[in-house]
Amino acid sequence: MKCKSMLDNNKQGYKTLSHIWAAYIQHSKSTLTSRRFYDMCASGCKYARLAAGGSIYLLMVIAAQNQRWIVGRADSNLATDVGNLLRWPDDSAAGKAAMQTIIPMVAFLARTCPVALGQVLHESLLQGLKVPPDTSCSHLDVVDAVFERIRFK
C-alpha cells in the first residue's frame, strides 16, 4: 500500500516500482533483491484483491491457517476471481460455498473480533483516502473503496 501511495503521488515523481526500488532499496544495506521486491508487491496486490472482495477478515483467516504461500504463488487472476466471487456470489458450486461458509465466517469474525482500519493500514494512507482510522473493517463499502484504489499493474 505504501508503494501504491508513492506511485499515486505525482509530486514524488515515481512512475514505476523500479523508480521506488532505485530510490529507496538499491543503495541501502538491505539484502532485498529487486526481484524479491517486485514479488512482494505482486503478492500484496493479490492480498488486496482478496481483501476488497471479502474484507480484511478473510486475510486474517488465510494468515491463521498459514496459507499465505498459496495466495502468493497463485496466479493474480485467481485472487481477482475469488474476490469477485465473494462480492457477487453466483449460483455456481463455488458461489454457494462462498455464501454458505466463507461469508458467514467473515461475518462471525467481524462480530467477535472487531478491527479498525487504522489497526491494519498506515494512518497517512487512510488520511489520503479521507477514511477515519477508527472505521470498522466490517464496513465493506469503505473497505472496498480503500482496496479498489490500489494500482494492480
What's the pLDDT at 150?
A: 62
What is the reported pTM?
A: 0.70
In one letter, which amino acid is 42?
Answer: A
What's the pLDDT at 147?
A: 79
Total length of the chain: 153
CA 7 to chain centre: 16
Half-sphere exposure of 30 (CA within 13 A, CB side): 13
Least Cα distance to 115 among 50, 41, 59 occurs for 59
What's the pLDDT at 58?
A: 85
> From first to last of its 153 residues, what are the pLDDT tens digits of the chain?
566 566 666 566 667 788 787 887 788 777 788 888 888 888 888 888 788 766 788 888 888 888 777 877 888 788 888 888 888 899 999 999 999 998 899 889 989 999 999 998 888 888 888 899 999 988 888 888 887 776 555
End-to-end distance of the chain based on CA atoms, in angstroms?
13
What's the pLDDT at 13?
A: 67
Q: Count of CB atoms within 10 A of residue 9's CB?
A: 11
